[in-house]
Structure 1
Amino acid sequence: MASHIAPELLYLESKWASLVSYGMTVDLLRDVLPIDTRLNPKTVRNHLHRMAERLESELGDERPNFVDSCPRDWKALPLPEGEMVVGIDGGYVRDWTDRKSHFGILVGKSLPQDRSDRYLGLVQSFDTKPKRRLWEHLCSQGLQLNQAVTFLTDGGDDVRNLAAEMAPYAEHHLDWFHITMRLTVLGQYAKGLVHHDQEAGERIARNLLRIKRYLWHGNSRASLFWSQDLADDLYGLEEDCSYPNLKAFTQAVAEFATYIEHNAHAIPNYGERYRNDERIATSFVESAVNVVIAKRFTKKQQIQWSRRGAHMLLQIRTRTLDGTLRGQFETWYPGLSANDDQTSTQAAAA
């Protein structure tokens, strides 16, 4: 039972297993500690899951809205330390149950102005308290109800719903990176079209540049109009054009127009934000997705995960990466605060 194991050993198991495989964690522990030879990857995994379950048990109840006071109370709060920027994006890992499919993981990174950054991770199809998790994550970084918070997302419904009603002064912006990524794909289709119908291909390429300019300046209405016009233009070419990817191009443009329509309310003036040194893209979250997911979950493509197993590992891994795991263990086991990471190794061997 994990309760019969030295807290120092539990901490080392959890920390190392969140960074490398369970098998490598056992090898590392055997190299540095005179531990029981019966220790195996399954035992380490079970111990990590129990620590993650303890974190889960401390989460409060899920609620659709965490703003339960009036604006008059917000004005009485002390001035916040500054704006908080929160980026949320997703990735996929292979499913253990259905080995030909994948399931989604959401990864977030919050950047307060005067505090340390923190990571957030959850499995969408497993987590029953995603909004509570995000709320407590932000509160741990000093969130106040009178604080400006900017959420940058890819515009997906799951991500948008997660961040909704999270703070009174929150702004929700569509990430410029995901817009340009879609436009780049459309631009590649247009280049291919030029080889089959030069006039149409060049006309459509010009329209794509026009749409990008409108989006850069926050003119979602004009960009939507020209996106729909572009879709109509392509539809009219379908019978006479020999371009083999025309149907896929037409569908991609229609999907882009729908994407802009659904997220029109979240399209700011990117040019103005850029000139004011305000964030417009989630490049910092793209790197976070790689750090949190790729380097532990998908680096070896044959690795498959259960939803529960991935979710539990995420809770420990994110705290390891942002440096808060040690403090959490010290809260659970006050005796740990007397040791640093070096002496904890000696205590685990005792």
Structure 2
Amino acid sequence: MKWRVMAEVTGEDGAVTRHVISEGERTEVGQAATLGLSLAEGKATLSGLQRVLVTAQADTHCRRRRQCSHCGALRPLKDHRTRTLVSLFGTVEVRAPRFGPCHCGVACRRSLTPVAEMMPDRCTPEYERVLAEMGSALPYRRARALLADLLPLDTAPDVETIRRRTLQVGARLERAALVPPDEGSPAPAQAITLAIDAGHVKSVRTYQMRSFEVMIARAAKDEGQEVVFGSMPAEADRQVKQLHHVLRRLGATASTPVTILSDGAEGPRSLAGAASCGPVRHVLDWFHLSMRVQHVAQAVKGWTAAEPAAAERTVPLADAVSRVRWRLWHGQTERALGLIGDTLTDLDALLDTADDRQVRKVATLLRALEIYVVGQANLIIDYAAARGRGDPISTATTESTVQRLLHRRMGANQQMRWSPRGAHRMLKVRTAVMNGTFAADHAAAEPYAGRPFRPAA
């Protein structure tokens, strides 16, 4: 059995041209391995079809641009060159004629290269977008190998090409994020919950710190729609304004109440408060508060394991820690602080009759819990009642977002070190991919590409 794939192109003048794209032969048709096209044949077919279409479109555009828009005469031909276009379906080399200025001298007074207008970056926007998306999801070498296996590229892009284009797209997304959203695009939200937390990325050795902080926020409105925001404060361009636009696109107005969940640190709280549009209510995240209590409970359990004979002293202590957790869960801050103070007094009395190391460890953690609760007392709410109402009380979803955005691609387990600028631009791409808006955001950021060729006159 023989087969042939042909393309028929009809020009503007009605002329029809036919091109043979690919052809093949099957001698054995009763085997699964010979059913349909193989990967190599599919690549060759797509590459041939892309070559025919790009060549036909380039010729049509050149004929249109050669005619002067003022007098209708044809511009004189200056010379012929070639230009290469890299796409997802292969590399195409087309003829690129240059035309001199028209003799009327009105419409254009410089040489004109129509093919350069079509291919300012010598690649298609889709090729750049896919490279950036793959480079943000996988290490650059793995992304290169995957693209080479699946796409009909003549030569797989270099690792440096994938890295450079990914970070260039991230820089464009950063500039596009400063553009205010269209008025009236989303419906006004009844309420918005903004959970914000910080993650850490290991820095390059030339940076002044071992790691740097990255802000991760997850905003959700009453209908359940969620948007993720990520930024590195030292590299962000007007970070507050960017987060403000994210809330605006989610439906925030001047009257929309915003509940901000955080671990109580001043940085995330101030960023979220400054970016909010309406009235703000700060709530201490139950996850971080509960983990502080859990550290004390673990220390008491470790004391019991180290000294089985001290069980008669640790059992009341463990019961006191459990009651502290219960009081904090129900928002009884004063009662919890009173119980912590009584427990610390009992621990001080045990210093002369028990192992100083174990007692001091529990006392240190309990005193740190007391300081934390005192500092965040105005942010602690009745978590039990809030959970009964269905209100958010934890940034656990934001913790998972930190894991997905940072640790899976940029974490220490990847054995990678990042510069603050590179990490910030990579985070912009990963955030857009996670929100499912990368294609639209990439198209909206095209005006900030800084292409090397000016628009044609």
TM-score range, shorter chain: 0.7 to 0.9
Could you tell which deviates more after superposition, 188-197 or 272-281? 188-197
Aligned to 2:418: 305
Could you tell which deviates more after superposition, 9-18 or 160-169? 160-169
**Partner of residue 84 from structure 1, selected from 157, 170, 192:** 192
Shift of 1:7: 0.8
**Contact preservation (8 Å) 1:80, 1:146:** no
1:1-16 equivalences in 2 (<5 Å): 3-16=121-134
- Return the structure number with greater helix share: 1
1:182 aligns with 2:324: no
Could you tell which deviates more after superposition, 125-134 or 165-174? 125-134
Could you tell which deviates more after superposition, 10-19 or 281-290? 281-290
333 and 191 in structure 1: CA distance in 2 versus 1, 3 angstrom threshold = closer
111 and 307 in structure 1: CA distance in 2 versus 1, 3 angstrom threshold = same
Unpaired runs of at least 5, structure 1: 62-77, 335-350
Q: What is the SS of the residue equivalent to 2:250?
A: coil
1:246 aligns with 2:359: yes
1:193 aligns with 2:306: no
Aligned to 1:288: 401
Shift of 1:319: 0.7
**Partner of residue 139 from structure 2, selected from 12, 17, 21:** 21
Aligned to 2:279: 169
| Shift >6 Å, 4+ stretches | none
Let me know the Cα RMSD of the aligned residues: 2.7
Aligned to 1:158: 267
Shift of 1:298: 2.0
Shift of 1:137: 1.6
Could you report, residue by residue, the CA deviation over 1:31-85 in whole angstroms, capped at 9, with x for unpaired residues? 3444463732222111111111122224549xxxxxxxxxxxxxxxx99432222
20 and 299 in structure 1: CA distance in 2 versus 1, 3 angstrom threshold = farther
Shift of 1:151: 1.4
Aligned to 2:258: 149
Question: Which whole-Å CA distance do the structure 1 matches of 2:193 and 2:177 have between them?
Answer: 23
**Contact preservation (8 Å) 1:193, 1:243:** no
Question: Which whole-Å CA distance do the structure 1 matches of 2:413 and 2:351 have between them?
Answer: 42
Matching residue's letter, 2:334: R
**Partner of residue 375 from structure 2, selected from 232, 254, 262:** 262
**Partner of residue 136 from structure 1, selected from 241, 245, 249:** 245
Question: Which whole-Å CA distance do the structure 2 matches of 1:229 and 1:192 have between them?
Answer: 21
Aligned to 1:348: none
Q: What is the SS of the residue equivalent to 1:244?
A: helix
Aligned to 1:94: 202
Aligned to 2:228: 119
36 and 256 in structure 1: CA distance in 2 versus 1, 3 angstrom threshold = farther
Aligned residues: 318
Shift of 1:248: 2.7
**Contact preservation (8 Å) 2:173, 2:445:** no
**Contact preservation (8 Å) 1:11, 1:329:** yes
Aligned to 2:161: 43
Matching residue's letter, 1:201: T
Question: Which whole-Å CA distance do the structure 1 matches of 2:156 and 2:120 have between them?
Answer: 15
Aligned to 1:317: 430
Could you tell which deviates more after superposition, 321-330 or 203-212? 203-212
Matching residue's letter, 2:210: S
Matching residue's letter, 2:204: W
Could you report, residue by residue, the CA deviation over 1:174-211 in whole angstroms, capped at 9, with x for unpaired residues? 11111112211211112233435334322322221222
Question: Which whole-Å CA distance do the structure 2 matches of 1:126 and 1:264 have between them?
Answer: 33
**Contact preservation (8 Å) 2:187, 2:251:** no
Of structures 1 and 2, the larger Rg is shown by: 2
Shift of 1:129: 3.0
Question: Which whole-Å CA distance do the structure 1 matches of 2:322 and 2:178 have between them?
Answer: 48
Aligned to 1:205: 318
**Contact preservation (8 Å) 1:94, 1:305:** yes
Matching residue's letter, 2:220: L
Shift of 1:243: 5.6
231 and 304 in structure 1: CA distance in 2 versus 1, 3 angstrom threshold = farther
Q: What is the SS of the residue equivalent to 1:296?
A: helix
**Contact preservation (8 Å) 1:97, 1:306:** no
Question: Which whole-Å CA distance do the structure 2 matches of 1:167 and 1:235 have between them?
Answer: 49
**Contact preservation (8 Å) 2:147, 2:156:** no
Aligned to 2:64: none
Question: Which whole-Å CA distance do the structure 2 matches of 1:231 and 1:253 have between them?
Answer: 7
Question: Which whole-Å CA distance do the structure 2 matches of 1:144 and 1:85 have between them?
Answer: 13
**Contact preservation (8 Å) 1:87, 1:285:** yes
Matching residue's letter, 1:215: L
47 and 232 in structure 1: CA distance in 2 versus 1, 3 angstrom threshold = farther
1:213-228 equivalences in 2 (<5 Å): 213-228=326-341
Q: What is the SS of the residue equivalent to 2:197?
A: strand
Aligned to 2:15: none
**Contact preservation (8 Å) 2:167, 2:425:** yes
Matching residue's letter, 2:340: S
Question: Which whole-Å CA distance do the structure 1 matches of 2:333 and 2:428 have between them?
Answer: 38
Q: What is the SS of the residue equivalent to 1:18?
A: helix
Question: Which whole-Å CA distance do the structure 2 matches of 1:152 and 1:289 have between them?
Answer: 15
Question: Which whole-Å CA distance do the structure 1 matches of 2:234 and 2:132 have between them?
Answer: 24
Question: Which whole-Å CA distance do the structure 2 matches of 1:301 and 1:34 have between them?
Answer: 29
Question: Which whole-Å CA distance do the structure 2 matches of 1:202 and 1:243 have between them?
Answer: 18
Question: Which whole-Å CA distance do the structure 1 matches of 2:262 and 2:280 have between them?
Answer: 13
